[in-house]
Amino acid sequence: MSGASPRQAFAALLRRDLLLAVRNRNEILQPLLFLLVVVSLFPLGLGPGPTLLGRIAPGVIWIAALLASMLSLDNLFRSDYEDGVLEQLIVSGQPLTVLVLAKMLAHWLTAGVPIIVLCPLLAVWLNLPAFALPTLVKSLLLGTPILTLVGAIGAALTVGLRQGGQLLALLVFPLLVPVLIFATGAVTLVVDGVQDTAHLGLLAALLMLAMTLAPFGCAAALKISVS
């Protein structure tokens, strides 16, 4: 056992994961391209009427973000599982919750933040009123980390399985219903001219809850999957 403190282990793992992500740019880009394609399908399928698109914009953007993050979550532990790194992390003697949190943070930085950066473009495509954009950004800032935190538990449970990707969506989407409701609710309220603080506050509460509990669930799931 090395003498590294949990903090050093956290930083080292975070740096490694970010470095891997930068070197494998495809893995970051594919979910984002998927996001753009999915969102662009909606005007094509529903017709380009600006009022209709403005109404459904929050829901469409959020659902597309949900689908895109499932794509990238499927890969969160897979390559580490296949080359044996995951086992080494578990037996390293460092608290697994801390290591898992580092992987989650790296995933959010490479999969969640780009969605937030792209969302102004999506909002323009879907004719979302400009004054609702700050709320959309806030809802994504609070909500996408929850997608990563809760989704990571599902990814950890399905890591060794062949059809893991489809199963991951079935396991995780029902758990994310509250996030979808509060996030789109906040944006829709602002579009209708009402305050958004209640919904965003609840979203923040969900984020706190997920941040405190999900690392433990994820660590336990990894131990079951790797054993």
Partner 1 sequence: MNPVMKFIHKTGSPAFFYRFSGLLVPWLWAAFILLAGWGLYQGLWVVPADYLQGDSFRIIYIHVPSAWMSLLIYFVMAVLGIIGLVWHIRVAEILSICSAPIGAAFTAVALITGSLWGRPTWGTYWVWDARLTSELVLLFLYLGVMGLYAAIDEPRKAHRSAALLAAVGLVNLPIIHYSVDWWNTLHQGSTVSLLGGSKMHPSMLIPLLVMAVAAKFFYGANLLTRARNHLLAQDFRKRWARDALLKGERQP
Q: Where are the beta strands (DSSP E) in 28-180?
A: none
By rule CB under 8 A, what string of x and - marks binding of each residue 121-160 to partner 1?
Answer: --------------------------------x---xx-x
Of 21-29, 55-63, 71-79, 170-178, which segment contacts partner 1 by CB under 8 A?
A: 170-178
Work out whether 174 is an interface residue with partner 1 (CB under 8 A): yes
Residues 187, 58 contacting (CB under 8 angstroms): yes
Of 31-39, 53-61, 133-141, 176-184, which segment contacts partner 1 by CB under 8 A?
A: 176-184
Closest CA to 4 of 125, 69, 98, 79: 98
At residue 169, the 3 state secondary structure works out as: helix
At residue 40, the 3 state secondary structure works out as: helix
Report in angstroms how near the CB of residue 144 gets to partner 1 at its nearest.
18
Residues 6+ apart with CB under 8 A from 182: 139, 143, 199, 200, 202, 203, 206
At residue 126, the 3 state secondary structure works out as: coil
Work out whether 201 is an interface residue with partner 1 (CB under 8 A): no
Count of residues interacting with partner 1 (CB under 8 A): 28
In the complex, the residues that contact partner 1 under the rule CB under 8 A are 153, 157-158, 160-161, 163-164, 167, 170-171, 173-175, 177-178, 181-182, 185, 202, 206, 209, 213, 217, 220-221, 224-225, 227
